[in-house]
Amino acid sequence: MSLILLLTQQMSLYLVMVYLVSKTPLFKFFAEAATRLPHKIFIYLIFSGFCIMATYFGEQTNDAIANTRAMGAVLGGLLGGPVTGFLVGLTGGLHRYSLGGFTDMACAISTTLEGFSAGIVSLYLRRQDKSELIYAPLLVCLVTFCAEMLQMGVILLVAQPFDDAWHLVKQIALPMLLVNSIGAALFMSMVRDQKTMFDKLSSAFSTQALKIAERSVGLLSKGFNQESSTQVAQIIIEETHVGAVAITDREHLLAFIGTGADHHIPGTPISSKITQDAIDNNCVMFADGVNMAYSCSISPQCRLGSSLVIPLRCENEVIGTIKLYEPKNKLFLNINRTLGEGIGRLLSNQILFGRFERQQNMLTQAELKLLQAQVNPHFLFNALNTIAAITKRDPLKARQLIQQLSQFLRINLKRTTGLVTLSDELEHIDSYLTIEKARFLDKLNVEIDIPERLLPFRLPAFTLQPIIENAVKHGTSHMLERGLISVTGKIHDDLLILEVIDNAGLYKLDNNSEGLGMNLVHKRIQNQFGSEFGIDVDCRKDEYTKVSIKLPYTETHT
């Protein structure tokens, strides 16, 4: 019985050591099956050490040593595989042999066998794709038990004289079987628990990070302001459970949520030194409240006691900070520090993306506006030239033309992007055509035939006029004969179809300026109403070009 207690004592020492190792990075060598050489060497060294120590700590009993060596050999075999197990057993066995006694040979052989057989079990389990069973305490217990039975057998077979061996086995068999089996099982269960905890922790961390990323996606890319910052701060505090979260730009507090929100008012200028330092030096600042004191710069009653400040960067330039706080009575968790820095990077990327997207958008908008409102300079100067010529002959007519030109320019400069009625659009067209007719005289003839009931219909501004301008600019003005443009409107199956037909037939797909203007109208209609609407062009060379504009006709539009 005393032997059991003594061996248990030994075993406890191992377990304490394992516990200590589990607190170091070395622990991961226990937690994974060894497949690579350095890892196997580590397993060999550790468990050989265990075997040797077990022999030394063993209890002298009848010229033999009762010990927990089997634990080292079996665990080495299970974690390292047959070769490593064999070597661990051999090392422990040779060491035992060197100490002498009548069981020296028997112990050497049996320890080697124990390590090797545990290795075989481990290999078998891995081959069967059941390597997680290696960490099952019950299995480990069973393997060790069998291994110890084997040892007892070997002692009886090898050690001489047999009577002494029989006597010894009777004395040590039970304690060694029990303690080694339970010890190995406990060892493995400890490894397993640590491993599960570690996995859980990292998965919890990843889940948290992913959740924040998922919930905050797109928020800051819409704009870095008080509203979006508050939403983001809310998400972070909900997911991390820190004391308080603040977001600032370079000068002001944009959002503050959590403990101390009563005196940290969004919109006020940044007052804390460490935030300013983080902005100025473009680095993460951490005041843990112990080594580096943190005290609220606004109110001495503030309960916040530690603070992490992470700069938000946009193209290497600090555009603000995000701050995590814990109150004085709570420790700032390391995990939140790492997470905080990750959040900082995530938000920085979002802001950068948002900025990029906005620039793109602004460019397209500007481009569209420019194109839409562009007054064709050739038209303008020719119009002025015509007016100059007419002034001498017919001042009244010249005055009318100036009126029409002003009207045309006014509408173009106003750059309405919304919907206008068809009758407004036709009025704009009339201004345009009055001038063009004065320029081209009888060479330009336009027939507009649109039923009166369609006039209140609303359509995007500058839909019809650019098409008619195209028909003149790229069509009839290039004709040697009389140019004729006809404009019609009709309703067909809930569609309003406006058609502009010229008799020039000079439409070319590759004509850039023509294509651009037409494309713009087409895109705007599709944006407004959907892809089934827009513009179709039909052209027969030297005969006609027909441009059809398809719009949805519903009562709501009228």
Partner 1 sequence: MITSLIIDDEHYAREELADLLSESSDIEVIGQCSNAIEALQMITKLKPQLIFLDIQMPRITGIELIGMLDPDIMPRIVFVTAYDEFAIKAFDNHAFDYLLKPIDEKRLQQTLNRVRKDLKPRSVSILTPEQLTHLPCYSGSKLKVISIKEVEFVFSDLCGVHVATDKEQVHTHLTLKVLEEKTSLIKCHRQYLISPEAISEIEIQETGAEVTTGSGAKVPVSRRYLKPLKQIFGFL
- Chain residues in the site for partner 1 (CB under 8 A): 377-378, 380-382, 384-390, 392-393, 438-441, 477-480
Q: How far is CA 80 from CA 54, 180, 407, in A?
A: 19, 19, 91
Distance of closest approach, residue 479 Cβ to partner 1, in angstroms = 6
| Cβ nearer to partner 1, comparing 114 with 436 | 436
| Cβ nearer to partner 1, comparing 215 with 443 | 443
| Cβ nearer to partner 1, comparing 11 with 390 | 390
| Cβ nearer to partner 1, comparing 87 with 405 | 405
| Cβ nearer to partner 1, comparing 356 with 381 | 381
**CB-count exposure of residue 395 (10 Å: 0-12, 13-18, 19+):** exposed
| Cβ nearer to partner 1, comparing 342 with 505 | 505
Distance of closest approach, residue 388 Cβ to partner 1, in angstroms = 4
Four-residue CA torsion sign, 118, 124, 129, 133: negative
Q: Can you tell me the distance from the alpha carbon of 379 to that of 115, in angstroms, rounded to the nearest whole number?
A: 97
Distance of closest approach, residue 516 Cβ to partner 1, in angstroms = 17
Q: Which residues contact 515 (CB under 8 A, 6 or more apart)?
A: 509
Q: Can you tell me the distance from the alpha carbon of 216 to that of 20, in angstroms, rounded to the nearest whole number?
A: 40
| Cβ nearer to partner 1, comparing 28 with 397 | 397
Cβ atoms of residues 185 and 140 within 8 Å: yes
Distance of closest approach, residue 439 Cβ to partner 1, in angstroms = 5
Distance of closest approach, residue 557 Cβ to partner 1, in angstroms = 38
| Cβ nearer to partner 1, comparing 335 with 373 | 373
Distance of closest approach, residue 500 Cβ to partner 1, in angstroms = 20
| Cβ nearer to partner 1, comparing 225 with 403 | 403
Distance of closest approach, residue 369 Cβ to partner 1, in angstroms = 21
Distance of closest approach, residue 487 Cβ to partner 1, in angstroms = 22
Q: Can you tell me the distance from the alpha carbon of 450 to that of 489, in angstroms, rounded to the nearest whole number?
A: 5
**CB-count exposure of residue 17 (10 Å: 0-12, 13-18, 19+):** middle
| Cβ nearer to partner 1, comparing 307 with 476 | 476
Neighbours of 237 (CB within 10 A): 18
User: What is the helix (H) or strand (E) element at residue 537, kind and residue range?
Assistant: strand 534-540
Q: Sheet holding 444-449: strands in order across?
A: 444-449, 483-492, 495-502, 544-552, 534-540
Four-residue CA torsion sign, 122, 157, 4, 99: negative
Distance of closest approach, residue 385 Cβ to partner 1, in angstroms = 4
Distance of closest approach, residue 352 Cβ to partner 1, in angstroms = 38
DSSP classification of residue 436: H
| Cβ nearer to partner 1, comparing 285 with 472 | 472
Neighbours of 19 (CB within 10 A): 12
Angle formed by the axes of helices 2-21 and 37-57, to 10°?
A: 150
Distance of closest approach, residue 532 Cβ to partner 1, in angstroms = 37
Four-residue CA torsion sign, 376, 379, 383, 389: positive
In b/e form, how buried is each residue of 249-273, taking b as 16+ CB within 10 angstroms? Answer: bbeebbbbbbbbeeebebeeebebe
Q: How far is CA 377 from CA 139, 351, 380, 383, in A?
A: 90, 41, 5, 10
Assigned token pair, 112:
């080697």
Length of the chain: 558
